[in-house]
């Protein structure tokens, strides 16, 4: 279980993120949903300790992580951004990169990489240069590169945002199967409600840097907590 | 008139001095440029302006200052380096390390800034992140190396001033060309010029092959 307590991020003397309490159960996929500029990506970067919060605690399985160095902490998580940001090398080397950073031996790396290439359906791309891939293939490599690390927390920042609808749907279908199978606790940022509904059991709505509502997707859609949440839901899918 | 053995000695010294200067510039310029591009640097623009100015330093001005420093009565006069190949190397490093620094910083700043977040988010240490970023920017970094080598192998003013163009000791291809032209030995000067061009081409060819192999892979 991962808990976030009183996390506050300031920028230019202004509070841009203020999360009172957020809890993610082990193996859960939690979607963080909200309009552009709401602070979703800031939350993700703070969780990856890539930006320094003003205050706040992150607790992994009842153990605060504040005492760990940024580097040691980041080796417990993995991050996938909207663009794949692949390295200019082969697909295999891309997927192996995080394991190499951790100093694993080649004999340990190869089977793990091959397993995840297969799970994401990209074994045939193993020896291809990363810069020759399509957007969808690239994002699969990026996901394999993160999942191969068996992270305690997987952070996904709009990973389908740059994909065309058919490619996005195929990848969503695969992830809906893969994430529970691998038991990966995941925080998934999106502003797309159908994506959140497909992938996540619960979602947290962030508006203006604050978590306004947490619950199942259907509960939130049927009873928004306040006018801001309602406005966002209406603007996002036009269904409400 | 120059003879074969002397030409060979001049050519070898030119290559030694230029390669050593380029190597030292790389050792100084690569980390410095990386720090300027990626570090939390106060006054980055100002420092980059200084480096960029350094990229266009007139060699004769560098020669003048290095000569003043190494002159017998200068602050580093006790080292007895004036009119030695070491003095030429010092002057050439001053000329070429800003080139490596400036082009390294530009190459790393041209990378997507989110690449750093991605690397750290996959558990890279700061050192591993820098190595990966150098790898990603290897084509412009090799171009920086070629530019630095080009600047020092073709340089004449500073080498003349701090090396003294002493026969058998500090005479390099460029200073020998100046001398032979001054004496009216145009055939020798042209031959030395062609030799200098050939060496510059061969070194750049080797670096370009490495660079383009990286581009194709």
Of B115, B122, B136, the CB nearest to A101: B122
Contact assignment for A101 to B114 by CB distance below 8 Å? no
Is residue A145 less than 8 Å (CB to CB) from chain B?
Answer: yes
- Angle of CA points A53, A58, A62, to nearest 5°: 165
The pair phi, psi for residue B124, each rounded to 5°, is -70, 145
Q: According to the model, what pLDDT value does residue B192 have?
A: 94
Question: Which is nearest to A97 in space by CA: B215, B115, B112, B122?
Answer: B122
Interface test with B, best of A85, A92, A161 (most B CBs within 10 A): A85
Q: Which stretches in chain B have pLDDT values below 50?
A: none
Instruction: Identify the pLDDT of residue B1.
Output: 58
Q: Which domains does chain B have, with CATH numbers?
A: 4-216 (1.10.3720.10)
How many angstroms separate the CA atoms of A146 and A148, rounded? 6
ipTM of the complex: 0.92
Nearest CB to A98 within list B115, B123, B217: B123
- Asked if B212 has any chain A CB less than 8 Å from its own CB, the reply is no
What is the pLDDT at residue A114? 97
**A107 class by beta-carbon count within 10 Å (0-12 exposed, 13-18 middle, 19+ buried):** exposed
A105 DSSP assignment: -
State both tokens at B201. Answer: 């081409």
From chain B, pick out residues whose CB is under 8 angstroms from the CB of A71.
Answer: 123, 125-126
Least Cα distance to A78 among A145, A26, A174 occurs for A145
A50·B136 Cβ contact <8 A = no
Across the interface, do A85 and B112 touch by the CB < 8 Å criterion?
Answer: yes
How far, in Å, CA of B171 to CA of B173, rounded?
7
User: Nearest-CA neighbor of A68 among A89, A87, A49?
Assistant: A49
Residue A68, number of CB atoms within 10 A of its CB: 16
Give chain B positions within 8 Å (CB) of A48.
117, 120-121
Copy the structure tokens of residue A231.
Answer: 């406005």
The residue extents of the domains of chain A are: 1-76+186-240
Q: Tokens 């036009």 label which residue?
A: A238
Give the H or E element holding residue A186.
strand A186-190
pLDDT in tens, A36-68: 888 999 999 999 999 999 999 999 888 888 889
Can you give the pLDDT of all 240 residues of chain A as single tens digits? 889 999 999 998 899 999 988 999 999 999 999 988 889 999 999 999 999 999 999 998 888 888 899 999 999 999 999 899 999 999 999 999 999 999 999 999 999 999 999 999 999 999 999 999 999 999 999 999 999 999 999 999 999 888 888 899 999 999 999 999 999 999 999 988 888 888 998 999 999 999 999 998 888 888 888 888 888 888 876 644
- The region that residue A208 occupies, defined by phi over 0 for left and psi between -120 and 50 for alpha, beta otherwise, is left
Chain B's closest residue to A69, CA to CA, is B125
Q: What is the SS3 assignment for B94?
A: helix
Predicted model pTM: 0.90
CA distance B33 to B130: 12
**Alpha-carbon gap, residue B28 to A149, rounded angstroms:** 36
For the segment A220-236, what is each residue's pLDDT rounded down to a tens digit?
A: 888 888 888 888 888 87
Alpha-carbon distance B50 to nearest alpha carbon in chain A (angstroms)? 29
Calculate how close chain B gets to A71, using CA atoms only, in Å: 6
B117 contacts chain A (CB < 8 A): yes
Query: What is residue B45's predicted lDDT score, i.e. its pLDDT?
Result: 95
Half-sphere exposure (Cβ direction) of A35: Cα atoms closer than 13 Å: 12
* A145 with B217: Cβ contact below 8 A: no
Q: Identify the pLDDT of residue A240.
A: 41
Q: What is the dihedral of CA B8, B12, B15, B19, to 10 degrees?
A: 170
Average pLDDT, chain B: 94
- The pLDDT value recorded for residue A162 is 81
Residue B212 has what pLDDT?
83
User: What pLDDT score does A238 carry?
Assistant: 60
Give yes or no for A87 touching B (CB within 8 A).
yes
Q: How many helical (H) and strand (E) elements, i.e. helices and strands, does chain A have?
A: 9, 10
Helix (H) or strand (E) holding A196: helix A193-199
pLDDT at A239: 46
Task: Choose among A50, A83, A129: nearest Cβ to B121.
Answer: A50
CATH topology of domain A1-76+186-240: Rossmann fold (3.40.50)
């Amino acid at each position: 279980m991962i808990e976030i307590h009183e996390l506050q991020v300031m920028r230019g003397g202004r509070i841009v993120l203020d999360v009172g309490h957020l809890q993610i159960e082990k193996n859960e996929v939690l979607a963080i949903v909200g309009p552009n500029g709401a602070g979703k990506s800031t939350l993700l970067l703070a969780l990856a300790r890539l930006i320094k919060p003003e205050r706040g605690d992150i607790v992994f399985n009842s153990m605060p992580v504040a005492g760990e160095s940024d580097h040691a902490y980041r080796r417990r998580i993995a991050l996938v951004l909207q663009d794949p940001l692949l390295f200019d090398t082969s697909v295999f080397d891309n997927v192996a990169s995080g394991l190499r950073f951790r100093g694993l031996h080649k004999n340990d790396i190869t089977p793990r990489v091959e397993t995840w290439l297969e799970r994401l359906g990209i074994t045939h791309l193993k020896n291809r240069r990363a810069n020759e891939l399509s957007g969808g293939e690239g994002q699969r490599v990026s996901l394999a590169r993160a999942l191969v690390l068996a992270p305690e927390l997987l952070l996904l920042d709009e990973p389908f945002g740059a994909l065309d609808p058919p490619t996005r749907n195929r990848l969503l279908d695969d992830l809906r199967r893969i994430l529970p199978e691998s038991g990966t606790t995941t925080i998934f940022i999106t502003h797309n409600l159908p994506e959140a509904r497909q992938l996540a059991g619960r979602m947290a709505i962030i508006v203006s840097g604050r978590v306004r509502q947490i619950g199942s997707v259907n509960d939130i859609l049927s009873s928004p907590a306040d006018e801001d949440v309602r406005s966002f839901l209406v603007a996002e899918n036009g269904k409400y | 008139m120059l003879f074969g053995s002397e030409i060979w000695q001049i050519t070898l010294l030119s290559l030694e001095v230029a390669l050593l200067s380029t190597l030292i510039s790389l050792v100084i310029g690569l980390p410095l440029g990386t720090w300027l591009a990626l570090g939390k640097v106060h006054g980055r623009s100002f420092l980059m302006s200084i480096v960029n100015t350094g990229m266009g330093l007139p060699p004769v001005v560098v020669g003048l200052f290095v000569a003043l420093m190494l002159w017998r009565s200068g602050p580093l006069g006790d080292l007895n380096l004036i009119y030695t190949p070491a003095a030429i190397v010092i002057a050439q490093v001053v000329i070429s390390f800003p080139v490596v620094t400036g082009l390294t910083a530009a190459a790393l700043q041209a990378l997507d800034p989110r690449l750093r977040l991605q690397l750290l988010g996959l558990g890279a240490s700061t050192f591993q992140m820098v190595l990966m970023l150098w790898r990603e920017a290897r084509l412009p970094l090799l171009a920086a190396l070629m530019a630095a080598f080009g600047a020092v192998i073709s340089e004449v003013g500073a080498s003349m001033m701090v090396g003294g163009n002493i026969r058998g000791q500090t005479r390099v291809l460029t200073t020998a060309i100046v001398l032979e032209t001054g004496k009216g030995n145009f055939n020798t000067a042209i031959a030395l010029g062609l030799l200098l061009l050939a060496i510059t081409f061969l070194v750049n060819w080797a670096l370009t092959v490495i660079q383009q192999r990286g581009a194709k892979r």
